[in-house]
A and B are shown apart, each in its own frame.
Chain A
Amino acid sequence: MKNIVIGRFVPGKGFLYRMDPRTKIISLVLLMASAFVIRNFTAMFMAIGFMALLLVAGRINIFRVLSGLRPLMYLLAFTFIFQLLFNTQGDLVVAWTLHYSPLNILMVTALVMLWFFTKRHVKFKFFFFLATLVGAVALVANLRLGPAFATGTLDIYESALTTGFFIVMRLMIIVTLSTVLTLTTKPTDLNLGLESVMSPLKVFRIRTEEMAMIISISLRYIPTLLDEANKIMLAQASRGVDFSEGKFKAKIMQIVSLLVPMFIISFKRSDELANAMEARSFVPGQPRTRLHQLTWGLADTAALVVSLLALTAVITTRVVM
């Protein structure tokens, strides 16, 4: 239940931890924009190198970043395969004839069975799955066992590979950057930084302070509500509700039996909380002094300059080349 908390902060050292959250947020935006603008290989490899450098210099555990990428893998694979199948620009790189014969199909089935029974012993399941898929296709294309009852073609064009590569890298860079931000910034600091970065929006009458207050209260109450949910689940379980299994309909009933009391409790809570806040002289929109203050250092200026340079460099290469 606890692991649904997104954007986990992990205490650590490293220079990224000491940086002002505002710097990190602005740099994140600049670097993300750069990643989107990149259209050539040299720049992309430099960007990847830059990311690696960032992770190493920031002393960030690479596995945490990878685990941040995990939920994205299927999307990435899908986008890539989509490109391979439907992008038909540029030179033809691969032109395979697919040979559908009973023996070939048998081989593929064997491969799938192998995958199915060994997958639980393999560490990187997703890559294993991809490898099996590629293997199966390669098998059908290159092994001609017995007479075919049908044939097909698989054409892959150059632009499919490059576009696919760029899209995948871009998304990975974006997710890695955001993971780095949330890994190294406490939610409260992140909130403070966001509030400060968004404060120009006040011109448009967007009440950034109140938004920040709402986020901060949500952050404070997430663990409390999770505890509450656990308690309710225990209470319902002791009355015979089984949360572990059941068919679809039973699952819905379980969720309802959790949500209804959760809602009631949350409303009561927020009512009392609002009272307590008002009684402590909180007036929405009124000026307040702040305990937490962000301090801008030399490193922050440097980081911002680097990110800005990256963006300008990428834009100029694109305009020039």
Chain B
Amino acid sequence: MRIIEIDNVSFHYKAGTPVLENVNLNVDKGEWITILGHNGSGKSTLSKLLVGLLRAKQGTIRVANVELSETTVYDIRKKIGIVFQNPDNQFVGVTVRDDIAFGLENLQVPRGEMIERIEQYAQKVDMADFLNKEPHNLSGGQKQRVAIAGILAMETDIIIFDEATSMLDPKGRNTILSMMKQLNDEGVTVINITHDMKESLYGDRIVVLKEGRILKDDTTKVVLADHKTLEKSSLEMLLPLRVLRALEAKKVDNEKVRSYLWQLSLTG
């Protein structure tokens, strides 16, 4: 079932300098898609269009069969959560507890349930001991985990992570990724915007953006091996696949080596 349908969407901040051009993208319910692209390719802009923070200049966006418009935008926002890049600028509450509560208060979740969800999701991101802490006493990674908990607690059908792990250390990143995996297994649709090729391994599908256009939209396995596309959008191929390519260039064609290298890259 389609949950997001982006149909021929274009956008610009300033007339004459298009940021997104004729973007077509469909996302199925429960899918995990990765959006890759160089700096300024329009990834964040696309995610803002999806939650109606920006209005498309052309084309339509449908979320769960509802067309995004001025009247439907509030209902659609209840279905999509979005974790932004800079944790400092999305921390609304005076304490961690207040911040996780913010979205729930907006959704008018009853107080008793709110307290339960705060507890539950703070635990999920490993921040349960920090509930009374104020943001300026937290590290960047901790603040980002709070931001993630704040979105998870809202229990939306779709979650967009806009370079949400770029502030985290490898361990923090892995916990968040496995948490995303768990969510996805529970049926949440995940859109992960990232620069990290390894992160894309978790997803079903990769969409590559370049200068506001979709350069490639295919399964993870296909895109990862597509050196031409990756090169064009200044992304670096994963090491095992680079090795494989070098071997193939030297006409070393061993089925065992090939499958081993693939396995190596897919297990991260």
Contacts and interface: CB of A to CB of B under 8 A. Distances in A.
Given A219-B94, A273-B89, A279 B82 contact: yes
A276 B90 contact: yes
A272 B95 CA distance: 19
A270 B90 CA distance: 9
A277 B82 CA distance: 11
A289 interface: yes
Nearest to A219: B94
Contacts of A286: 106
A1 to B, nearest CB: 13
A106 interface: no
A196 interface: no
Nearest to A220: B94
B111 A291 contact: yes
Nearest to B150: A280
Interface string A184-227: 00011000000000000000000000000000110110011001
Contacts of A242: none
A105 to B, nearest CB: 57
Nearest to A213: B92
Contacts of B114: 289, 291
A280 B103 CA distance: 5
Contact of A291 (B74, B115, B136): B115
B102 interface: yes
B84 A288 contact: no
Contacts of A277: 92, 102
A283 interface: yes
Contacts of A240: none
Which interface residue of B105, B110, B114 has the most chain A CB atoms within 10 A?
A: B105
A223 B101 CA distance: 21
B66 interface: no
Contact of A289 (B82, B91, B105): B105
Contacts of A224: 88, 135-136
Interface residues of B, number: 41
A220 B92 contact: yes
Nearest to B108: A289
B38 to A, nearest CB: 21
Contacts, number: 94
A275 interface: yes
B124 interface: no
B268 interface: no
B77 A281 contact: yes
Contacts of B102: 277, 280, 282
Contacts of B92: 217, 220, 273, 276-277, 280
B105 A275 contact: no
Contacts of B78: 281
B106 A280 contact: yes
Given A281-B78, A282-B106, A269 B98 contact: no
A287 B111 CA distance: 14
A8 to B, nearest CB: 14
B109 A272 contact: no
A220 B91 CA distance: 9
B53 A289 contact: no
A287 B48 CA distance: 24
B154 interface: yes
B89 A269 contact: yes
Given A224-B88, A273-B92, A289-B114, 5 more contacts: A272-B89, A276-B92, A280-B92, A281-B103, A283-B106
Interface of B: 48, 51, 53, 74, 77-78, 80-82, 84, 86, 88-95, 97-98, 101-111, 114-115, 118, 134-136, 150-151, 154
Interface of A: 187-188, 216-217, 219-220, 223-224, 227, 268-269, 272-273, 275-283, 286-293
15 contacts: A216-B94, A220-B93, A269-B89, A276-B92, A277-B92, A278-B53, A280-B77, A280-B102, A280-B103, A281-B107, A286-B106, A288-B108, A289-B105, A289-B110, A290-B111
